Chains A and B, each alone.
Chain A
Amino acid sequence: MLSYYFSLALHSLKRNRVLTALMVLAIALGIGASMTTLTVLHVLSGDPLPGRSGSLYYPQIDPRDMNDYGPNVEPPDQLAWTDGMYLLKAKRASRQALMTEGMVPLQPTESNVDPFQTSALYTTADFFPMFGVPFQFGQGWNANEDEGKARVAVISASLNDKLFGGGNSVGKELRLQETSFRIVGVLGDWHPNPHFYQLYMGSYASDEDVYVPLSTSRDLKMEHDGSTDCWGNTGGDQDNLERVNCTWLQFWVQLDKPADVEAYKSFLTHYSQDQHAMGRFERPPNVRLRNVMQWLDYQHVVPSDARLQTWLSVGFLVVCLVNTVGLMLSKFMRRSAELGVRRALGASQRALFGQLLMESGVIGLAGGTGGLLLAMLGLWLVRQQPAGYASLAHMDVSMLLATFTLAVLASLLAGVLPAWRACRITPALQLKAN
């Protein structure tokens, strides 16, 4: 029976080739556009560290003066040196790392490669175990090396490929800013997106190539980039960042149990109270403790254009579906006479419904398949765009499944309604009318 309906459907579709093509194309365009933008949105709003991000928190405190103070002000996005070092050394969380970023000049030891500038993260020992950073060779540095301002570095896999042909470079020399560093580790595949722990150098696809201890970077006066927000009148002298009233450091902690989160929050409040009592913080205690996803949400990391594009494409899909439903319905209604004859000859309403649904289902599925192909094309087009996140726009399994679900839903919507309307005809009236 199904194959009979199928051949009937094909026959009917062939009779109006242009119309059939039009309906398939409309559904395909709608689904293609929606799936492209939904995939981009899915990639952009993804969890950078699945399984781990729930227990990573970003403490914020408010060390500023009363200038521009008001109710409900958010504390600054970063920490000042004094507070960062205090929280780091207090070790109140199971792990904690203080960090900031900058560009460093790198002089390859082979003289045939020109010196170049590369992005570096200045951080502390816990960074690697806390974020579960994978290593190809070697490992991160330890707290003693942080303390001793050791000239050690961890490099990314891509820099290792570039400088050492992908071999084990642990123990080799890396020259940064005319200073010799010893490579202690080479990272494996480590591309958290969004780049949650440091958002100032780009939120997506902005992996660092070099990691060195924060203490070392300050000792060598390595360049600090990103945001420096100052208050009071000490200025933002980049060479004396330890002593000015500026926030410029990011701090992450690992808190495994809900009780730990509460305890850490009250630790932050107590610290703020103490500082307030000492007169260093002019504002009353104002602390925040957000986990990774809350932090990304608070920072509005997903570009608003990506959301806007998603809304647009969903609107477009709705128009395409309405268009197809209208065309399909008028096509079915036009065949009222034929359907009336079939009813009069004994076909049940169910049989007619089945037959019409098969026809619209074929269109829906063809449109869905076309939509999937168009989504692939769309994602390729997105990857050609200039935006920083463009290179990440790839379809994954969940989005592939979502595309198929959307296609089936869309085709059912586009098919059921017209088929249901069309099979509810009264055979006698139709026969009489003709």
Chain B
Amino acid sequence: MDIKPILSTLRRHKFTACLLIAQIALTCAIVCNAIFLIGQRLERMNMSTGVAEHELVYVQLANIDNRPDAMARSAADLAALKEIAGVKSAMATNQLPFGGSSSNMGIKTDPEQQNDEINASQYLGEDVIPTLGVQLVAGRDFRADEYHDLADVYALLRKGDMNALPKSVLITQPMAERLWPGQNPLGKQIYVAKNISLTVIGVIRELARGGGIREGEQYSAVNPIRYSASGGASYVIRCAQQDREQVLKAALAKLKGLDPNRIVLEKGTFDELRHRYFRDDRAMAGILVGVCLALLIVTALGIVGLASFWVAQRNRSIGVRRALGATRYNILNYFQTENFLLTTMGIVLGMVLAYGINLFLIVHYELPRLPAVYFPVGAMLLWGLGQAAVLGPALRAAAVPPVVATRSV
């Protein structure tokens, strides 16, 4: 196919052709980046936490009055919860991935360091490992005699008696790999505050931070500290997936029976917690998909409209070409090639623009660089769109009979 005549025709419609190219370029640039953003959101939403997500339910309670004996009451609650049929394990804890609160600490590997090496999330509670269902890949879980009550820990801190504090800690594999790359982390020391060092006794394959997602999403540590919030408590219960609803109902009844003088703040399954945490991301991904579709539709309609005009405008010259021996296929091909040329120019310009938009996003939204794979994907998408949009008008052009050439206007 000779593209020279096409180019010379386009030269006569320079302004319109430029507008179409600009539109395709803008669409290409925005769609490439939007698809990239959608991918980012989906990746975020699929983040792994390492916990047995489908087997967990949680209840958060608040006391109506202040009770001095929070620890004993928590112990009684937990004992009662463990009696419920189907309950595999239960604990009181300070945080959950995707939950509302988080507890974090700065960590050094050398007490002389000026700055913290990383910031890690800190899980408290008895039986964190079996209840969350996280996997130990090295070392061991805490022994029963290693646990201290949180209130006692606070009292020791107030006295400044750092040596009596619980010394062992479990950390995640990504955290160990970050602190001591390629080394065996068991037995190593981490320094969490002045004069407080902890010994790594076990390594967890994966455990996401408590609370929201932030940098170092798998940097978590577990301390052998029995947890009880003086204002209430958060209980996490593990059971079989199909038992969740009935275990949660039984747990609420049991807790209410033990002490009616408290308020249930939150309850539900871990799956619901995850679903709720990502609802903004889901909404944003939906909006991005909508914008992509709207852009592609508007651009496609624009191509259809322009092509229809050009076909109508060149009705007579098409007739002349047909009369001079051009086949229907030649005519069809002419318009398809014309569209291909315009789209290609738009795509080339669009790629440059896409890269520019990506640079803007990197600066203002801390996004990673647009992977190169998005460029061919965007190009294929727009080529396909252009060809599909031009097909109708091109077929109409191909159907123009040669006799048109002999008619006057």
Contact = CB atoms under 8 A, between A and B. Distances in A.
Contacts of B140: none
Contact of A322 (B22, B62, B193): B22
Interface in B296-338: 298-299, 301-302, 305-306, 309-310, 312-313
B279 interface: yes
A325 B306 CA distance: 11
Contacts of B312: 334
Interface string B194-212: 1110000000000000000
B15 A319 contact: no
Contact of B230 (A103, A221, A323, A421): A221
Contacts of A22: 301, 305
Given A117-B263, A304-B365, A386-B283, A319 B154 contact: no
Contacts of A19: 305
Interface stretch (B131-139, B286-294, B388-396): B286-294
B66 interface: yes
Contact of B313 (A308, A325, A334): A334
Interface stretch (B26-34, B83-91, B174-182, B378-386): B26-34
Interface stretch (A62-70, A76-84, A404-412): A62-70
Given A105-B62, A117-B265, A387-B280, A329 B19 contact: yes
Contact of B157 (A235, A319, A329): A235
A5 interface: no
Contact of A107 (B20, B22, B64): B64
B384 to A, nearest CB: 18
A110 interface: no
A318 interface: yes
Chain B at the A interface: SS class: helix
A68 B116 contact: yes
B186 interface: no
Contacts of A387: 280, 283
A317 to B, nearest CB: 10
B157 A233 contact: yes
Interface string A307-344: 11100110110111011011101110110010000000
B75 interface: no
B263 A237 contact: no
Contacts of A329: 15-16, 19
A239 interface: yes
B195 A177 contact: no
Contact of A326 (B114, B306, B313): B306
A67 B114 contact: yes
Contacts of A144: none
Contact of B306 (A29, A66, A330): A330
B30 A331 contact: no
Contacts of B299: 319, 323
A6 B209 CA distance: 65
A322 B291 contact: no
B162 interface: yes
A33 B291 CA distance: 9
A315 B34 CA distance: 11
B158 A240 contact: yes
A326 B298 contact: no
A7 interface: no
A238 B63 contact: no
A334 B309 contact: yes
B283 A421 contact: no
A308 B306 CA distance: 31
A167 interface: no
A190 interface: no
Contact of A67 (B26, B34, B65, B115): B115
Contacts of B229: 238
Nearest to B313: A334
Contacts of B280: 305, 386-387
Given A67-B106, A221-B230, A305 B295 contact: no
A329 B34 CA distance: 29
Contacts of A105: 62-65, 263
A181 B230 CA distance: 22
Interface string A216-232: 00001101000000001
B279 A386 contact: yes
Given A117-B265, A329-B16, A387-B283, A68 B230 contact: no
6 contacts: A114-B263, A313-B291, A322-B19, A326-B19, A326-B306, A330-B309
Interface of A: 19, 22, 26, 29, 33, 65-70, 103, 105, 107, 114-117, 177-178, 220-221, 223, 232-235, 237-240, 243, 304-305, 307-309, 312-313, 315-316, 318-320, 322-323, 325-327, 329-331, 333-334, 337, 385-387, 421, 434
Interface of B: 13, 15-16, 19-20, 22-23, 26-27, 30, 34, 37, 62-66, 106, 114-116, 153-154, 157-158, 162, 193-196, 229-231, 263, 265, 279-280, 283-284, 287-288, 291, 294-295, 298-299, 301-302, 305-306, 309-310, 312-313, 364-365, 409
Given A22-B305, A330-B305, A337-B409, 15 more contacts: A33-B291, A67-B106, A67-B116, A105-B64, A117-B263, A117-B265, A177-B65, A232-B194, A307-B364, A309-B284, A322-B19, A323-B298, A326-B19, A326-B306, A386-B283
**Which 5 residue pairs of A and B lie closest in terms of their CB atoms, listed nearest first?**
A326-B19, A178-B65, A233-B193, A323-B302, A223-B231
